[in-house]
Structure 1
Amino acid sequence: MSRKVGFFTTLLVLGLTTLAMAAEAGSAEKVEGLRFFMYSAIAAGFGIAIAAFGTGLAQGIAIKSSVEGVARNPEASGKITVTMMIGLAMIESLCIYALVIALILIYANPVSKLIQGFVGMA
């Protein structure tokens, strides 16, 4: 199964390179616009990666501490669980905010016209 997937993936990539080489050369403005979009997408990807790493780390620490608290004091498990759930929701909201910012960078970049004017494309 793995060899078939690798073979067909290689075949697909090689097939797409012929389409890329057959495309006509674009103007400098199109190339700069594409480069700006590419850098925006890379920045959005790094932002999501850092946010997901921090979120996973924080959630793991929160759950570890919650389990230790319940192990020490089983009678307080209800309060600890509720507090943990609220904390996990707050931690997860940070990653969701990073996702929203990344989507804004990719699809509705508010500073794209300003940067294009600065570069001389507008």
Structure 2
Amino acid sequence: MKKFGAVLLLSVLVLVLSSSFLESAMAGSSLCDSKCSARCSKASMQDRCLKYCGICCGMCHCVPSGTYGNKHECPCYGDLKNSKGKPKCP
């Protein structure tokens, strides 16, 4: 009976921790979505811009202001490179 109680307590703990982690991940996603929408608003290929901006925002947790440049505001965002050595983030 003690093992059952311990397993139940552990299960509840895991459920609480995973739900709080999921909430924070979802909040970060909506933040990235709104910042990337602003960043890519003038891009000629918006779908591609939004895709890569979302990847970069997820990794760096920030997006530079404006629609172009300002990468000094988020050094991680500006430092990411693709396989060819060119900037990955729009």
Q: Which residue, 15, 37, 47 being the options, matches 1:45?
A: 15
Separation (CA, whole Å) in 2 of partners of 1:79 and 1:50:
30
* Amino-acid identity (%): 0
Separation (CA, whole Å) in 2 of partners of 1:62 and 1:87:
6
Deviations 1:50-81 (Å, cap 9, x if unpaired)?
0110011100110110001112x325854553
Q: TM-score, normalised by structure 1?
A: 0.41
Q: Which runs of 5+ in 1 are unaligned?
A: 1-30, 92-122
Task: Give the letter aligned to residue 68 of structure 1.
Answer: A
Q: Shift of residue 83 of structure 1?
A: 3.1
Within the alignment, does 1:33 sit opposite 2:33 as a pair? no
Q: Which residue, 4, 23, 43 being the options, matches 1:74?
A: 43
Name the residue aligned to 2:24: 54
Could you say what secondary structure the match of 2:30 adopts? helix
Separation (CA, whole Å) in 2 of partners of 1:87 and 1:42:
32
Separation (CA, whole Å) in 2 of partners of 1:54 and 1:69:
22
Let me know the Cα RMSD of the aligned residues. Answer: 2.7
Number of aligned residues = 60
Q: Greater relative contact order: 1 or 2 (C-alpha under 8 angstroms, separation 6 or more)?
A: 1
Could you say what secondary structure the match of 1:38 adopts? helix
Separation (CA, whole Å) in 1 of partners of 2:53 and 2:37:
12
